[in-house]
Structure 1
Amino acid sequence: MAPASRLAAVGLAAFATASTATSIPITNSLEFGPSEAAARQNAFHIFNAIHSAMRQWGSSLNHNGMSLFLVTVPAEWLAFEIEHAELFAHPRWQGGKPPPPPPPPPHISSPQQHPLPNLNPAHHNPPTPFSSSSSSSSTNNNNNATAHGYLHTYLTTTPLHLLYLDGTSAGNTAMGTLDTQDLLLRLNRTAPVWDETGRARALCALAAAWGLDGVLRMEAGFEVIKCDFARGMRLVGAHQRPAERRHGHPRDVGSFEFIRAVARRYGGIGAGRVVVDWGSMVSGFWYGVQLGEEEGMPRLVGVGERELRGIRDRVEEVVRGRKGGEKRVVDWQGVVDLVVGRYADRLRYMVEGVESLQEMQGELNGVLDTHIDYAAEDEGHQAAIGRCARDYTMAVAPETQEDHLILTAIEVVTHSICSTLFEVRKVVVEDPEAGEGSVRVAKEVLRGLMDKLRWTRWKECAACGFNEVCFVPMWPFGDKESHERPNCRNATSINKGWWEQESRYWDSGPGMTPLLGKDNVPGDTMGDL
């Protein structure tokens, strides 16, 4: 969790537009650079990265992000999750005499306004848990002064240009969530998991050099590393929080309220509060490098320094070329959403719900008939497969090199879907001797397609009660079982399996449990850069 991120998380929001085009110079193809071959090889990863970008659900399941995007938070006030910020609005010291608060800034002149707390605590090491006596207040033995936390609210006064790192990039784990930051952007193979101050300072140095305002990342909730609060930000207020935990609000309920708030972002931040320039996407999937894999997740650990520098150079090239000014943006996530919306439920029903040959024939005809020209000869349905594969991309006009690579990847995926469906149609519809055995064959073929697609939509809970959330591990919370099978949880079951060594999902090395101890007392620290 970056030192200044929770402060920004309270008051950053977005409404934006995009218009005419600006193009990006294409990297010399004779040198190390993006390639269509790599986009084809990694097409399914690329498709899913676009589908999950800026969405809590998919970015939690596919937590090792390999891609970076230029995003804009326009000058408008809206919170991401107020509950996220509330976790950090408490005293930061571990006992003893608290530091005196600084005087209020000039634009807070009301004598009733509380002074601002110290925003520069240490953030170098894994935090230690607050004891029950110091979790909500600290007492000075000399004068019995009570320490309070403050909730800060900010207004963005100008559009903020940020570098978005996809996946669970704010998760302090040894599982690959930090690869893009440490290996690619910092070129640092020895950074410890808990080096958040060093990480934030290095990222802000890059942001300053590239003319950006900071970095956008995700853990259990989205956050901003805002590198300079004197630029583009205005403090709206600093409100003192309760010195003691309120009656009727036990800690497990507090955790549930936080998770429930974050779960509202499963499908995206919403309301245009973060605008993604999809044509700026730079990804490890664009390159012919040997991406490692750990528990089915991609890693950058095996990529050489020359290649990492080449990818980082392309990030800089794209940021400088796309930042500011008018530009045309293709809504690639919208295209991907259309594909998932058309096929996800149909495929699952055909694999898990269909019980008869007639049902299977009806499903296949329903999804494929529109692409077939019954008046023309079409050997192997190749023309129909082509129309099917380009159904949602035929009108798209790629602008940047990255646009062309995204288009390639999407059409590899849609061609795989369409060709597989037509293959199954031959067995079930066109074969005059088709029977119940044909249905079993069809299901096996379609199940193989689903295994390749790995759409996160198929892990969503069927339905949860009004007092429940569909829970998936979101750093630092979660258990292994819930990653495989997300499940409905309420306030009394929300933290089941989070902290036991054998069942917890996240591997963050020493300091994992103290981050939010078994009694759910926040123990993290944060500060301004």
Structure 2
Amino acid sequence: MRSQSLVAALGIGSAALALHVQFPANTAGETCVRPSDIINLNTPSYSLSSNTEQWRFDEGPPENATGNLIFDTVHSFLQHWPNTRYRNGHNIVPGVIPMGTLLYHGGNSDAIPSGPEWIATDPEHSIIFARGRDGGGWHLTLAATRPLKVLYFDGSSAAKISEGTMDTQDILAWGEVQPERFFDERQRIRDLCTWGKEFGIDGFARMEMDFEVMMCDFTAGVEVVSFLHVRVLPQDGNPYFPHLLSPPAFDSDAGTRQFEVMHSGSWHNRYPGDSRIVLDLTGLISLYDAALAPSLISVRAGIERWDHRVFGISSDDISQVMRKLTEAVSRPEPVGSGIDWKTLIHVIVDRYADRLELMQHLLNFTSSDSQELFQRVKLAQTQLSVMLTPYLLDSTIVPSAGTPGVDASQWASPIFRLCATTHTSKMIDHTSSMTPSERLLLKAVEETTREICRVTTKMWAHGVMSGLDSLFPVNAEPDTTQIMNYWRHDIQKLMSWLDWSVWVKCRPACGPEEMCYLPTWPVNAPRPRHPRPPPRDPWNATDAPEPDHLADRVGPPPEGPTTPTEEWRKPQPKCIRRVQPYTF
């Protein structure tokens, strides 16, 4: 009776008692079930704010759910590591660069740019463009005199390749995705700035080896801190495009400066990322939003996340995206609920990331010794209890093992519900003050925490009914081999669905002369079959608008690029040297 009272107190209707989940067989005679029977991906969409929600352990996320993708991309904003791993961005986010922030620009003359140009957030990035005929160059340092209004494109959005990194920019600049224009940088910056002028946008934030801003006007919102004629040793070739250099040249002074751009980018690998750009998530535009861009559902169907991109979006969806973006950047003052979505999402990742990783480690264990297996599965059960501790109610009643007609979901579903809703239950009362972007974020957080809690509570309840839990003792003899196999499957499936880049790291850790690295544009990008010809003026890397300028070239080399390798398509971490001789 106490368990029924608890269910009523938590507001779970009688329908929630008609749950069905089965666990592997043990000596107490429980029914065995295949892992494929436990998770049903073809279920209708759910809403955690609904009072009629059925907290079923066998009801996983819908097959085309994108809440996990929205959650992870938002968690990854302005972090170099995850946006190098998944290069093709799907988000456009308003933001500001705070007053007093320093920004950098390198050039071949002492003239301040009179039109749109690129600026860097770290001087290591801009200094490679400070190159003149006399072996020196000019390096400009600017300070923001007011908050600079920017739009941020996530992913490796400054990587000049045709496979999707610039899709979202194309929509703004040209009204459609034009992958053949991946190298049309000069026209891209002009057209983006022309579009943004109406809304007072000062620039567009992107990422390649490090973060940069496509600055529209060097006379608005910034002032000169210094404009220095710096000494740069003469070099052969073009350090910005190392596929134009022979391998020995990368160990030259030019190569050192090239490497230090990637090194400075690595400072922003993890949270909080590049904090000099402050994003306004109340204006988030996500192309993973199925309601905003439904045409992309079929484009993504059946392909791996590495290959997700915006190319293939319908013209109607583009129009809808542009309407929503225009509304977001036209707001005269801040709006929304006031919820700190960025912190909320990072709190959830901090809470679960290392614990799920530890569970994966504990379960990656085999032994012919039954006692060793038992001790290992007990350790795993302890970790499940640790994750669920705030929700383990003292009033919980666990039926005896083998009790006829009772399954674990009848007593454990309240714990599942508490775990899944604690972070968001009070937010639901304030949805009327939320922007559409915030409601999308709320749904993403709900879907993500629901799946984490569904899987971990199901595993924990299985352990309890198998006699593995010291807080809720049950007299049972566990089949540790089956439990380990099922739990290993469950954790792997959950972590693959979450796909958090915090779990992608170099193992073993890199040495003091190394850093952990993911293949990066342009160093590891597929090379042309024949080297792209250098600019007419070899000292003019990307700054001056001369006709033969690299940034003015449209499309791939005449011979076409080589086929991307698996190492490039699916970047995996590796240790590379931080000192010469460099390795990539």
Q: TM-score normalised to the size of structure 2?
A: 0.65
2:487 and 2:117 map into 1 onto residues whose CA distance is 59
CA contact (8 A) 2:206 2:212 kept: yes
2:117 and 2:313 map into 1 onto residues whose CA distance is 33
- Aligned ranges for residues 488-503 of structure 1 at < 5 Å? 488-491=575-578, 496-497=583-584
> After superposition, what is the alpha-carbon deviation per residue over 1:90-114, rounded to whole angstroms, capped at 9, x for unaligned?
64xxxxxxxxx5xxxxxxxxxxxxx
When residues 329 and 218 of structure 1 are mapped into structure 2, their CA distance, relative to the original with a 3 A threshold, is farther
- Aligned ranges for residues 164-183 of structure 1 at < 5 Å? 164-183=152-171
1:212 aligns with one of 179, 197, 201: 201
Q: Are 2:362 and 1:367 equivalent residues in the alignment? A: no
When residues 282 and 118 of structure 1 are mapped into structure 2, their CA distance, relative to the original with a 3 A threshold, is closer
Residue 301 of structure 1 corresponds to: 311
CA contact (8 A) 2:519 2:571 kept: no
> After superposition, what is the alpha-carbon deviation per residue over 1:437-495, rounded to whole angstroms, capped at 9, x for unaligned?
11121111111111111110111225322322111123223375475421221135786
Shift of 1:256: 3.0
Shift of 1:40: 8.1
2:296 and 2:174 map into 1 onto residues whose CA distance is 19
2:461 and 2:62 map into 1 onto residues whose CA distance is 31
Is there any run of 5+ residues in structure 2 with no aligned partner, and where?
Answer: 1-45, 48-60, 119-128, 236-250, 366-375, 398-408, 467-475, 526-565
Task: Report which stretch shifted further, 331-340 or 195-204.
Answer: 331-340
CA contact (8 A) 1:217 1:224 kept: yes
CA contact (8 A) 2:233 2:253 kept: no
1:380 and 1:184 map into 2 onto residues whose CA distance is 52
2:524 and 2:336 map into 1 onto residues whose CA distance is 40
- Aligned ranges for residues 282-361 of structure 1 at < 5 Å? 282-286=285-289, 287=292, 288-291=294-297, 292-293=299-300, 296-297=305-306, 298-321=308-331, 323-324=332-333, 329-354=338-363, 355=365, 356-361=376-381
Q: Are 2:429 and 1:434 equivalent residues in the alignment? A: no
2:336 and 2:416 map into 1 onto residues whose CA distance is 33
CA contact (8 A) 1:186 1:202 kept: yes
> After superposition, what is the alpha-carbon deviation per residue over 1:339-383, rounded to whole angstroms, capped at 9, x for unaligned?
111111221221223441211111111111321223146725222
CA contact (8 A) 1:338 1:392 kept: no
2:210 aligns with one of 221, 226, 230: 221
CA contact (8 A) 1:116 1:238 kept: no
When residues 118 and 336 of structure 1 are mapped into structure 2, their CA distance, relative to the original with a 3 A threshold, is closer
1:136 and 1:67 map into 2 onto residues whose CA distance is 34
SS at match of 2:181: coil
When residues 440 and 325 of structure 1 are mapped into structure 2, their CA distance, relative to the original with a 3 A threshold, is closer
Residue 16 of structure 1 corresponds to: none
SS at match of 1:170: coil
Shift of 1:311: 0.8
CA contact (8 A) 2:116 2:193 kept: no
Shift of 1:175: 1.3
When residues 494 and 318 of structure 1 are mapped into structure 2, their CA distance, relative to the original with a 3 A threshold, is farther
CA contact (8 A) 2:112 2:218 kept: no
Residue 548 of structure 2 corresponds to: none
Shift of 1:150: 0.6
Which of structure 1's runs of 4+ aligned residues deviate more than 6 A? 35-40, 117-123
2:524 and 2:338 map into 1 onto residues whose CA distance is 36
When residues 222 and 405 of structure 1 are mapped into structure 2, their CA distance, relative to the original with a 3 A threshold, is same
2:192 and 2:62 map into 1 onto residues whose CA distance is 27
Q: Over the residues paired in the alignment, what is the CA RMSD in angstroms?
A: 3.2
When residues 328 and 225 of structure 1 are mapped into structure 2, their CA distance, relative to the original with a 3 A threshold, is farther
Residue 371 of structure 2 corresponds to: none
Residue 240 of structure 1 corresponds to: 229
1:281 aligns with one of 284, 290, 300: 284
Paired residues, what number? 415
Q: Which of the pair has the greater relative contact order for Cα pairs under 8 Å at 6+ separation? A: 1
Task: Report which stretch shifted further, 166-175 or 294-303.
Answer: 294-303
> After superposition, what is the alpha-carbon deviation per residue over 1:369-425, rounded to whole angstroms, capped at 9, x for unaligned?
321223146725222112111233345455212111111111111100110111212
Give the letter for the 1:360 counterpart: A
Structure with higher Rg: it is: 2
Give the letter for the 1:198 counterpart: Q
1:90 and 1:242 map into 2 onto residues whose CA distance is 13
Q: Are 2:438 and 1:403 equivalent residues in the alignment? A: yes
Residue 388 of structure 1 corresponds to: 419
Residue 257 of structure 2 corresponds to: 254
Shift of 1:56: 1.0
Give the letter for the 2:495 counterpart: M
Give the letter for the 2:489 counterpart: E
When residues 205 and 338 of structure 1 are mapped into structure 2, their CA distance, relative to the original with a 3 A threshold, is same
CA contact (8 A) 1:151 1:238 kept: yes
Q: Are 2:447 and 1:412 equivalent residues in the alignment? A: yes
When residues 90 and 272 of structure 1 are mapped into structure 2, their CA distance, relative to the original with a 3 A threshold, is closer
Give the letter for the 1:68 counterpart: I
1:446 aligns with one of 460, 471, 491: 491
When residues 194 and 249 of structure 1 are mapped into structure 2, their CA distance, relative to the original with a 3 A threshold, is closer
Q: Are 2:101 and 1:57 equivalent residues in the alignment? A: no
When residues 417 and 303 of structure 1 are mapped into structure 2, their CA distance, relative to the original with a 3 A threshold, is same
2:217 and 2:166 map into 1 onto residues whose CA distance is 23
CA contact (8 A) 1:207 1:215 kept: no
Task: Report which stretch shifted further, 407-416 or 376-385.
Answer: 376-385
1:255 and 1:446 map into 2 onto residues whose CA distance is 40
CA contact (8 A) 2:158 2:207 kept: yes
SS at match of 1:362: helix
2:498 and 2:272 map into 1 onto residues whose CA distance is 24
When residues 236 and 39 of structure 1 are mapped into structure 2, their CA distance, relative to the original with a 3 A threshold, is farther
Give the letter for the 2:211 counterpart: F
Give the letter for the 2:439 counterpart: H
Shift of 1:228: 1.2
1:280 and 1:40 map into 2 onto residues whose CA distance is 24
CA contact (8 A) 2:88 2:157 kept: yes
When residues 331 and 429 of structure 1 are mapped into structure 2, their CA distance, relative to the original with a 3 A threshold, is same
- Aligned ranges for residues 88-237 of structure 1 at < 5 Å? 89=106, 91=108, 115-116=110-111, 138=133, 146=134, 148-183=136-171, 185-190=173-178, 192-237=181-226
1:289 and 1:121 map into 2 onto residues whose CA distance is 33
CA contact (8 A) 2:70 2:444 kept: yes
2:165 and 2:140 map into 1 onto residues whose CA distance is 28
Give the letter for the 2:574 counterpart: N
Shift of 1:251: 3.8
- Aligned ranges for residues 2-21 of structure 1 at < 5 Å? none
CA contact (8 A) 1:213 1:228 kept: yes
Shift of 1:308: 0.6
Give the letter for the 2:453 counterpart: C
2:319 and 2:107 map into 1 onto residues whose CA distance is 40
Q: Are 2:574 and 1:487 equivalent residues in the alignment? A: yes
Shift of 1:136: 5.7
1:295 and 1:42 map into 2 onto residues whose CA distance is 13
> After superposition, what is the alpha-carbon deviation per residue over 1:151-189, rounded to whole angstroms, capped at 9, x for unaligned?
100111111111111111111111111110113552134
Task: Report which stretch shifted further, 444-453 or 254-263.
Answer: 254-263
When residues 385 and 56 of structure 1 are mapped into structure 2, their CA distance, relative to the original with a 3 A threshold, is same
Shift of 1:426: 3.0
CA contact (8 A) 1:256 1:490 kept: no
